[in-house]
Amino acid sequence: MASVIERLISQGVLGIIRIHTPEDLVAIAKALYAGGLSCLEITLNTPGALRAIEAAQQEFPEAIIGAGTVLDAASAYQAILVGAKFLVTPVVRLDVLEVAHRYGVPAIIGAMTPSEILAAWEAGAAMVKVFPANVLGPKYIQEVRGPFPQILLVPTGGITAENAPDFIKAGAALVCAGSWLVDKKAIVEGRYEVLTERARALVEAVKRARESLK
């Protein structure tokens, strides 16, 4: 469990894959991986997500592939069975966290308010996903870290290469990027190189932001 968290923090970026056509999933993962993004989350509300997690993990054994939008214990267990290395929830789901602990898989639990964030952390979340980050902003992350400097916060929602550095400088352990990173128009047009370039830009932006803090 610790090694997965270390990899996620080291990467600094978690790419979220949420689309409607399962045949694109592995191709998207491949494009993002080519851009230097080795930590990927495939959401379970995507058709064929479980098969894609298994296939992506087999194709990219060095990558860290996890399951997102995990809403219940049964889904958590199924994701772990196919090889998900971590679980992500959109809200505080203690039943998912219980399954994660049982099988030694880290869980990133979604929360928004300070009370939810602390409750998720005290229940044993490896990290706490703060959503929606584009509404709350980097200043919110900075303020929450005031009373809770020990909590690993992962802002999610509206993250781009442009605003990711602000969240890193505010104290985020890493950032999650989805819709901007996995551009649906580019996918429909078969221009997967767009995803590769965005992944590369995002990874580099986070790297530069961290270097500026040294």
Catalytic residue among 6, 30, 41, 62: 41
41 noted as active-site residue: yes
The range of the structural domain enclosing residue 122 comes to 2-212
List the CATH number of the domain containing 52.
3.20.20.70
**pLDDT at position 211 over 90:** yes
Mean pLDDT across 34-41: 97
Whether pTM > 0.85 for this model: the answer is yes
Query: For 135-166, b where at least 16 C-beta lie within 10 A, e where not — what string?
Result: ebbbebbbebeeebeebbbbbbbbbbbebbbb
In this prediction, residue 25 carries a pLDDT of: 86
Catalytic residue among 23, 59, 85, 129: 129
22 confidence band (pLDDT: 50, 70, 90):
low
Total structural domains in the chain?
A: 1
**Contact in structure between 107 and 125 (CB atoms under 8 Å):** yes
Instruction: Find out whether the peptide bond into 132 is cis, omega within 30 degrees of 0.
Output: yes
139 noted as active-site residue: no
Q: How is residue 151 written in tokens? A: 């909590």
Q: Do you know the residue count of the chain? A: 214
pLDDT tens digits for range 105-154: 999 999 999 999 999 999 999 999 999 999 999 999 999 999 999 999 99
